[in-house]
Copies of this chain bind each other. A is one copy, B any other.
């Protein structure tokens, strides 16, 4: 079979797969269905669809073979909400409450007492040291299997304080559509997050359609051991191994993916170097930023924010002509409808 024929066959398959995916959603299958219905028409949406058209049109200078269509997404603030606190922190605090019966000493020991008493002042006073103790207590000293189960229990039961919905409901509908649209066009979608890799993997496949092996994140040391039952175990150790944030993101991409993305999306200065690394490759490149401008439907924050600060990356986006999503203006909806 000639290369050209194969290429046409594959494109046909991709198109079929794409329409099948759209059909699986809510929209009736018809020609010219909008793959990004939650994105308002405008320059931002057009920058995405134009880029995808450029790199997927065979025989053009910008064509990129499917194997090289790597797209990376930050998670906190890019695929799901990160306010009023990183959701992984909410998990850690909730976990302290679940674990408390096994730790009677926490009733009188900070920073645990502060969480059990809902004493935010005392919690803040415990500072970085206190946060480290909370992360150690909730993220180490158990097997990877047990930690996975703890995360799944939490995603099933916990509710966001403002929206009163499961945290995994507070993902951005337009970004879900973007992930599906890219995959339908032969892209391989990855998460590259400063969040914990073991915290994301249990639920990202169900929520984003991204399998665990396409998740890059921060991690603690894990140790192989023979368990008491003669079965091998992987124990989570209280030691940071890799911080996948800022300059760590291109490093994490290199380590886990081994290819430079052609498409990357972030929302904060923690994504700055990932966007630089992506944009600096040869050929067509897409670098995008979600700017949180919608205090009514979500949150509004950028330069002075402690969570998800967007400052240097925003300046470079303006200078380099990267795509900056104005959430209020560019997104028709923010979160998926309640089931």
Contacts and interface: CB of A to CB of B under 8 A. Distances in A.
A232 interface: yes
A15 interface: yes
Contacts of A276: 232
Interface in A57-76: 65, 67, 70
A224 B231 CA distance: 40
Contact of A213 (B15, B251, B258): B258
Contact of A234 (B3, B144, B251): B251
A17 B10 contact: yes
B251 A224 contact: yes
A286 to B, nearest CB: 16
Interface string A216-237: 0001001110000001101000
B3 A9 contact: no
Interface in A64-103: 65, 67, 70
A11 B65 CA distance: 11
Interface string A1-44: 10100110111011101100100000000000000000000000
B251 A222 contact: yes
Contacts of A215: 258
Nearest to A276: B232
A232 B197 contact: no
A254 interface: yes
A253 to B, nearest CB: 9
A309 interface: no
Nearest to A190: B213
B13 A6 contact: no
Nearest to A205: B67
A258 B6 contact: no
Interface in A198-226: 198, 201, 205, 211-215, 219, 222-224
A277 to B, nearest CB: 5
B258 A212 contact: yes
A123 B21 CA distance: 55
Contacts of A18: 1, 6, 9-10
A86 to B, nearest CB: 20
A223 B197 contact: no
Given A67-B211, A222-B254, A258-B213, A232 B280 contact: yes
A13 B21 contact: yes
A247 B224 contact: yes
A61 to B, nearest CB: 13
A254 B234 CA distance: 8
Contacts of A214: 213
29 contacts: A1-B18, A3-B11, A3-B14, A6-B18, A7-B14, A10-B14, A10-B17, A10-B18, A13-B21, A67-B211, A144-B254, A188-B213, A212-B257, A212-B258, A212-B259, A213-B214, A213-B257, A219-B255, A222-B251, A223-B247, A224-B248, A224-B250, A224-B251, A224-B273, A224-B277, A231-B280, A232-B280, A234-B250, A234-B251
